[in-house]
Amino acid sequence: MDSEALRKFSALHPRPAGLTLHYGTAGFRSAAQQLDHVVFRMGLLAALRSKAVTATIGIMVTASHNPEEDNGVKLVDPLGEMLHPSWEEYATQLANAEEQELQKVITEICQKAAVNLHKDASVFIGRDTRPSSKKLSQSVIDGIQVLGGQYHDYGLVTTPQLHYMVCCQNTQGQYGKATLEGYYEKLSKAFMELIKQSHCSGEFQRHLKIDCANGVGALKLSEMKPYFPQEVLIHIYNDGTKEKLNHLCGADFVKVHQKPPGGLDMKPNERCCSFDGDADRIVYYYKDTAGRFHLIDGDKIATLISIFLKELLAKVKQNFKMAVVQTAYANGNSTRYLQETLKVPVHCVKTGVKHLHHKAQEFDVGVYFEANGHGTVLFSKAAETKIRQLVTEEKDNEKREAAKMLENMIDLINQTVGDAVSDMLVIEAILALKGLSVQQWDALYTDLPNRLLKVQVADRRVIDTTDAERRALTPPGLQEKIDALVKKYKLSRAFVRPSGTEDVVRIYAEADTQENADALAHEVSLAVF
C-alpha cells in the first residue's frame, strides 16, 4: 500500500470531527455534505473487497427516496447482491476511523478478511441525479486509485442497472452484456417475446403514466423508449426538469401518504405507477370514477406475479418449490390471500433487501417484495436450466409454451435486485397476458387499512426486536403495552422497530378501519417514549 498516497488523499477527504455513521440496510445515508470522507473510504473498501474476492465490485452513490440534500453510498457484491454482512462492519470501521488510523484499519481488514493487497481490483461506479452525486463519485475514484484499483464509471444509472452490470461482468456475459444497451436489449427482447404470446396482442394499446420521482429513472426510461414496441405507450412525468428529486412524488411518497404524487394528472381508471429516486422501487395506483385513490403496493405486485408464476409452474409439472418472502410491513390481507387462497407458502423476514433476497434463494422460485415496492423474483440455477431445456426439447405444446413464458420471465426480471423498470415490464406483460385491468388486479383482495408513522427518539437503538421485527424485546414493558393496545381493535396488528436508514423509530399499525389503524398507530407511538 502506498502510505504516502493514502495520507495525501485522505487529507483531501477529511472526516468531520466526532461524526459517526453506520453501514445500515442501505449502506451509508446522511446529509450529502457529511459524506465526502465516507465515499472516499468506500472507494478504498470496494478495492479491498474486489481484491478479496477476485471479482468486480459495484459502488452506487444514491440516497434513493430520501430528500435531495441527502446522499448515500452502498457496495454491490459480485453477483449483484448487497455487500456481504461480514464486510458491513469493516465499512463502518473504515468510515469512522481517525485519519491517522486509516492505514492501521486497512491493514486489520486485510488480515481479518485475508486480502492480498498485491492483487488487482476492479470497481464499477454508478450515481443518481442528486446535485452532490457527481462530486462524491469523484471521491470514490480517489479511494479506488489509492489502492491501485481499476474502475469503470457508468455515470448516471439506476441502482438496479449498476447491480446488473456487476453481475454481467462477473459471469462473463452469461447474465447479459455489461452495458446500458445490453440491459435495454435484454429486457425489451424478453418483454416483446412475452407479450407476443398474448392472445389479445394487436388489439391493445398499453398506456401507462409513470411518475419518475424527478430522478434517474426518467433519464433511463427515455433512453429505453426506442427499444419498446409501438403498442406500449409510456408517458413520463416528474422527469426532473422542473421539480426537486422525491419532492411530493415518487414511490415512497405515494406509499406512505397513500395519495397520488404531484405533477401527474390522473384520469379515472388510468393505470399509473411511481418509481423512487434511484428506480429500485415501484408502486401502481389508479383513481376510480368516484375519485377514490387505490394504491397497489409491493404486496399486490408480489401477488400478481405469484398467481402468474404458479399457473405456469403447474403447466410445466416439475414440482418446483415456490414461495413468497415478505416483511412485517406486508398487509395482513396479502399474507392471508397468498396462503389461503393461492396456497403459496409465505415467509416473513427482517426488513432490508438482503434478508428477503437471502430467504428467496432457498426456493426454485422465490418471489420477494417489500410492501414499499422493492422486490423481484429469483430462480434457482436448477430451475432455470430445466426451464430452458423444456423450451428446446419439450414435445407437448402447452408445456413448452409455459416453459417459454417462464424463460422470458427469467430474462425480464432483474434477479440481482428489485428494479422498477424491469418490474414494470413484468407487470405490464402479466396484465396483458391475463387480460386484467388495473381494477381487476386491485380487487384480488382488499388491503386492511394501515398507517406507518415515524417518531424521533433520543436513541433508537434502545429498541431491540425479535420474530422478524414483529415483537419488541426492549425496552422492558413496551411489547406488553403494544399487546394491550392491539387488543382494543379488530383485525389489528402493530409493531415498532428502529429504522436502518434514518434516525427514527417506525411504527406500523393495521386494523379494521382507517380511523382505528390511525388511532392504534398514534397510541403505539406514545408508548414508545
| Angle 239-220-380 from CA coordinates, rounded to 5° | 130
Residue 276 binding target from Zn ion, ligand NG1, none, CB below 5 to 8 Å by type: Zn ion
Q: How far apart are CA 134 and CA 138, in angstroms?
A: 6
Residue 278 binding target from ligand NG1, Zn ion, none, CB below 5 to 8 Å by type: Zn ion
| The binder of ligand NG1 chosen from 30, 158, 306, 501 (CB under 6 A) | 501
**DSSP track, 344-388:** --EEEE-SSHHHHHHHHTTSSEEEEE-TTS-EEEEE-HHHHHHHH
| The binder of ligand NG1 chosen from 15, 186, 294, 374 (CB under 6 A) | 374
Residue 502 binding target from Zn ion, ligand NG1, none, CB below 5 to 8 Å by type: ligand NG1
Stretch that binds ligand NG1, among 13-21, 181-189, 313-321, 499-507 (CB under 6 A): 499-507
| 501 is annotated as contributing to ligand binding | yes
Residue 357 binding target from Zn ion, ligand NG1, none, CB below 5 to 8 Å by type: none
| The binder of Zn ion chosen from 280, 364, 407, 469 (CB under 5 A) | 280
| The binder of ligand NG1 chosen from 13, 186, 357, 506 (CB under 6 A) | 506
Q: Is 299 in the site for Zn ion (CB under 5 A)?
A: no
Q: Is 278 in the site for Zn ion (CB under 5 A)?
A: yes
Q: Which three cell numbers stand for residue 421?
A: 423498470
Q: Which three cell numbers stand for residue 371?
A: 410492501
| The binder of ligand NG1 chosen from 110, 502, 518, 522 (CB under 6 A) | 502
Residue with nearest beta carbon to Zn ion: 64
Is the Cβ–Cβ distance between 38 and 54 less than 8 Å? no
Cβ distance to Zn ion smaller for residue 58 or 149 = 58
Is the Cβ–Cβ distance between 57 and 50 less than 8 Å? yes
- The residues assigned a catalytic role are 64
| The binder of ligand NG1 chosen from 274, 372, 376, 479 (CB under 6 A) | 372
Q: How far apart are CA 341 and CA 406, in angstroms?
A: 22
**Which residues between 56 and 75 bind Zn ion (CB under 5 A)?**
64
Q: Is 355 in the site for ligand NG1 (CB under 6 A)?
A: no
Q: Is 455 in the site for ligand NG1 (CB under 6 A)?
A: no
Q: How far apart are CA 99 and CA 103, in angstroms?
A: 8
User: What burial class does residue 380 get, using C-beta atoms within 10 Å of its C-beta: 0-12 exposed, 13-18 middle, 19+ buried?
Assistant: middle
Q: Which residue type, as a one-letter code, is found at position 380? A: S
Q: Which of 375, 299, 381, 387 is nearest to 344 (CA)?
A: 299
Cβ distance to ligand NG1 smaller for residue 188 or 334 = 334
Distances (CA, A) of 43 to 149, 352, 388: 9, 23, 39
User: What burial class does residue 303 get, using C-beta atoms within 10 Å of its C-beta: 0-12 exposed, 13-18 middle, 19+ buried?
Assistant: buried
Stretch that binds ligand NG1, among 118-126, 156-164, 330-338, 498-506 (CB under 6 A): 498-506
Residue 370 binding target from ligand NG1, Zn ion, none, CB below 5 to 8 Å by type: ligand NG1
Q: Which three cell numbers stand for residue 26?
A: 442501505
Give the other-Cβ count within 10 Å of 449's Cβ: 19
b/e burial code for range 456-485 (CB count within 10 A of at least 16 → b): eeeebeebebeebbbbbeeeeebbeebeeb
Is the Cβ–Cβ distance between 346 and 335 less than 8 Å? yes
Q: Is 128 in the site for Zn ion (CB under 5 A)?
A: no
Q: How far apart are CA 333 and CA 447, in angstroms?
A: 6
Q: Is 329 in the site for ligand NG1 (CB under 6 A)?
A: yes
Sketch the per residue contact string, 50 through 89, with ligand NG1: x for CB under 6 A, - otherwise.
--------------x-------------------------
Binding-site residue positions for Mg(2+): 64, 276, 278, 280
Binding site for ligand NG1 (CB under 6 A): 25-26, 64, 329, 351-352, 370, 372, 374, 499-502, 506
Binding site for Zn ion (CB under 5 A): 64, 276, 278, 280
Binding-site residue positions for substrate: 370-372, 497-501, 506
